Amino acid sequence: MMEEFLQALTRALSFGTPLLLASLGALVNERAGVVNLGVEGMMAVGALAAFGVASETEAPGAAVCLAMAVGALAALLHGFVTLTLRANAYVSGLALAMLGLGVAGLLGKRYEGAILFEPAPELPFTVAAGALAVVLWGFLHATRPGLVLRSVGENPAAADVLGVNVMAVRYLAVAFGGALAGLAGAFLSLAYRPAWTDGMTAGLGWIAVALVIFVGWSPLRAVLGAVFFGLLYYLQFRLQDQSQVPTELFAAMPYLLVVVVLALAGLRRTQGSAPAALGRPYHRGER
């Protein structure tokens, strides 16, 4: 029984790691008021970049760095379209998700099916993700830059009046979100399943987006949420034919739970804990 519990916990932590990394990134850019639904795409290009570097040079450190850089670049594209050009953030994010998957699939052709013979260990990623959650919590709630970031997400006009460069903060937050999505991708292709396959992100980016809403934009709750969603994913296989519940339900659970969370917030006629200016473009002098 104990062994079974430990195994389930191990799986939840392993599967939860990319979820936590990506959702911490998305959480930060959403706390700054920017929605980026393109997590799946950024994760995919990150995974490919990491795998490419690791298989050519066998330097996992460089692979991780490049994955984060590529993820950040992809996110900045979204930033440019939504912040500077003020296009619809939801459409742009969806486009980024598809673009990232497509580009990764195309550029990854030469690596298709290849594996890494020296896989990276999973544990450092998991530990880093957990530590990052705590650091981010501290950053958001106990530091001045954290306060600035939150204010930009809650009331950009007021922040602007106080002399905050709203645009710069939002760009930084978006790039941070992309870098963490890229890091999540690197975890997938270097450690979790050290290989490259087109579409290997397998919808994890979407679960990460759902997770941010589910945990109410809190980095600490994101840790629990990631472990919980990781556990659900594992149970869909572990409980196959061992319970009366159809295991497909476990796979659908993250999305169902988000619907429930949103519905509850709606019933209370609030936005839940969403940042007040989430998804709203800001331009000085407009309301």
Partner 1 sequence: MVRRQVLLLALLALGVAGSAQAEEKKLKACFIYVGPVGDIGWSFAHDEARKLTMKALPWLETQYVEAVPEGQALPVIDRLVKGGCKVVFTTSFGFMDQTLEAAKKYPDVVFAHTSGFKRAPNMATFMADFYQLYYLNGLMAGALTKTGKVGYVAAFPIPELKRHISAFALGVRAVNPKATVNVKWINAWVSPVKAREAAEALMAEGNDVLAFTEDTATVVQVAGRKKVPGFAHYSPMHRFAPDFVVSGQLVHWEKIYIDFLSKVRDGTYAPGKLKDVDYWWLLRESAVELGGQPGLPINPKYVDALKKAQMTVGGKQVSVYDRVMELLKDMSSPTPTFDPFTGPLQDRNGATRVPAGRVMSPQELNQMQWVAPGVVGPVADEPK
Catalog residues that contact partner 1 under the rule CB under 8 A: 4, 7-8, 11, 15, 105, 109-115, 119, 188, 192-195, 197-200, 202, 204, 233-234, 236-238, 240-241
Spatial separation of the C-alpha atoms in residues 79 and 71, rounded to whole Å: 12
| Angstrom distances, CA of residue 74 to CA of 67, 79, 83, 237 | 11, 9, 14, 33
Find all residues with CB under 8 Å of 137, minimum gap 6, and list them.
218, 219, 220
- The nearest distance, CB 194 to partner 1, in angstroms, is 7
Query: Please, what is the Cα angle at 134 between 19 and 278, to 5 degrees?
Result: 65
- The nearest distance, CB 248 to partner 1, in angstroms, is 8
* Residue among 76 and 202 whose Cβ is closer to partner 1: 202
- The nearest distance, CB 223 to partner 1, in angstroms, is 20
- The nearest distance, CB 46 to partner 1, in angstroms, is 15
Helix 219-238 with 204-214: angle, nearest 10 deg: 130
- The nearest distance, CB 64 to partner 1, in angstroms, is 20
* Residue among 152 and 232 whose Cβ is closer to partner 1: 232
Q: Partners of 195 in the beta sheet?
A: 115
34 in Cβ contact with 89 (< 8 Å): yes
* Residue among 166 and 188 whose Cβ is closer to partner 1: 188
* Residue among 242 and 267 whose Cβ is closer to partner 1: 242
- The nearest distance, CB 55 to partner 1, in angstroms, is 13
* Residue among 32 and 211 whose Cβ is closer to partner 1: 211
* Residue among 77 and 204 whose Cβ is closer to partner 1: 204
Query: HSE-up of 269 (CA within 13 Å, CB side)?
Result: 0
Spatial separation of the C-alpha atoms in residues 209 and 224, rounded to whole Å: 15
The radius of gyration of the chain's CA atoms, rounded to the nearest angstrom, is 19
Spatial separation of the C-alpha atoms in residues 283 and 269, rounded to whole Å: 27
Spatial separation of the C-alpha atoms in residues 236 and 232, rounded to whole Å: 6
Spatial separation of the C-alpha atoms in residues 254 and 260, rounded to whole Å: 10
- The nearest distance, CB 11 to partner 1, in angstroms, is 6
* Residue among 200 and 227 whose Cβ is closer to partner 1: 200
